[in-house]
Copies of this chain bind each other. A is one copy, B any other.
Amino acid sequence: MTTEVTTVGDEAEPAADEGARADLSRLSLNTATTKHWTLREAVDGAVRAGLSSIGPWRDRVQEVGVPEAARIIADAGLRVSSLCRGGFLTTDDDAAARAALDDNRRAIVEAATLGTHELVMVVGGLPAASGPGGPALPYPARSGAGVRVQGADDPARDLVAARQRVADRIGELAPFAAGHGVRLVLEPLHPIFAADRAVISTIGQALDLAEPFPSDVVGVVVDTYHVWWDPDLQRQIARAGAAGRIAGYQVCDWILPLAADPLLSRGHVGDGYVDFASITRWVRDAGYTGDVEVEIFHEDVWSAPGDETLATMAERYVRHVLPHL
């Protein structure tokens, strides 16, 4: 699908496609970007903007019920690029672990019902920093200077053990996912979130965890916000591509200063410090031909009218990503 995109901005650097009918056929709206829209509003907005796919979050899907959500999206002629999200598998409490596995099985069924192959997994943080089921969005402060003094060999701070629990539980979920034609897509999160949201911080680490499983059962997603800084990024993206494990490419920017809540500190592509030209070429050269999701958590983006957000998304995609894809 093509649509008219008017690029604006720096006159000295016209975008490659300025004035042309831009190809948005691989651009997908992650519904977190238009936080205040219902699923139907997001679907309608994506269609108006000329997109072909959408990446819904489970809360917006559950709001209308999964079968109805599937119908809304299919009726609009959109693909589902991925479902966000499963995960939060790091708890060291047995009951909480069983609940987390059950919830992930439900997420797998939801993904299959929506007709997407890709279930994004945010694996969870240290037991010391995250409750069962994971922190809410935005997450609550669970510690502060001077609140607590840890003992030596504290299991709640044992990163190595938390990562092993992720590996074990991915192993438990993999057959169920495979049986439903769904891939568990491990998402490395920026190390700023290593304590409270994800003990997976790099593509390389995610690939090591994925290795025991078939490539259509466990994959990885490349999210520029989370991995742009990684000195090994080019090599690990190539490795992911060679293994057939790149399940998604998500784009948004690292901006400074950070927002007070760093979870909500993502910028539109081009507003920050990420080198989208290089990373996009690495993803392309790794053989990725799937959708490019825009997933932005930021109060300013959320308070903008949704159609405006989508127009900015499309314009930035055409300027910074599409020429290298």
Give the size category of A's interface with B: 35 or more
A190 partner, pick from B126, B191, B204, B276, beta carbons under 8 A? B191
Residues of B within 8 A of A255 (CB): 143-145
Given known A-B contacts A201-B230, A256-B195, A129 and B273 have beta carbons under 8 A apart: yes
Q: With A and B bound together, what is the CA distance between A53 and B160 in angstroms?
A: 33
Contact B278 A158 (CB under 8 A): yes
What number of copies of this chain does the assembly contain? 2
Roughly how many angstroms separate A264 CA and B82 CA in the complex, as a whole number?
Answer: 37
Chain B residue nearest in CB terms to A159: B275
Q: Using Cβ atoms and an 8 Å threshold, which residues of chain B touch A272?
A: 143, 145, 195
Cβ contacts under 8 Å, A245 to chain B: none
A:107-152 near B, CB below 8 Å: 126, 128-129, 141-152
**Given the contacts A190-B191, A262-B258, A149 and B277 also touching, CB distance less than 8 Å:** no
A152 adjacent to B324 (CB under 8 Å): yes
- Contact for A129 among B142, B256, B261, CB less than 8 A: B256
In the complex the two chains form, is B194's CB within 8 Å of A229's CB? yes
Q: Is A163 an interface residue (CB 8 A)?
A: yes
Q: Are B254 and A195 in contact (CB under 8 A)?
A: yes
Q: Does A320 contact B (CB under 8 A)?
A: yes
A59 within 8 A of B: no
Give the residue of B16, B147, B163, B267 whose beta carbon is less than 8 angstroms from that of A231.
B163
Query: Are B202 and A231 neighbours in the complex by a CB distance under 8 Å?
Result: yes
Q: Are B145 and A268 in contact (CB under 8 A)?
A: yes
> B146, B262, B270, B271: which contacts A268 (Cβ < 8 A)?
B146
Residue of B at shortest CB range from A157?
A: B275
Known contacts A149-B9, A277-B153, A320-B152; is A143 also within 8 Å of B256 by CB?
yes
Q: Which A residues lie at the B interface, using CB under 8 A?
A: 9-10, 13, 16, 126, 128-129, 141-154, 157-160, 163, 190-192, 194-196, 200-202, 204-205, 208, 228-232, 234, 254-258, 260-262, 267-268, 270-278, 298, 300-301, 316, 319-320, 323-324
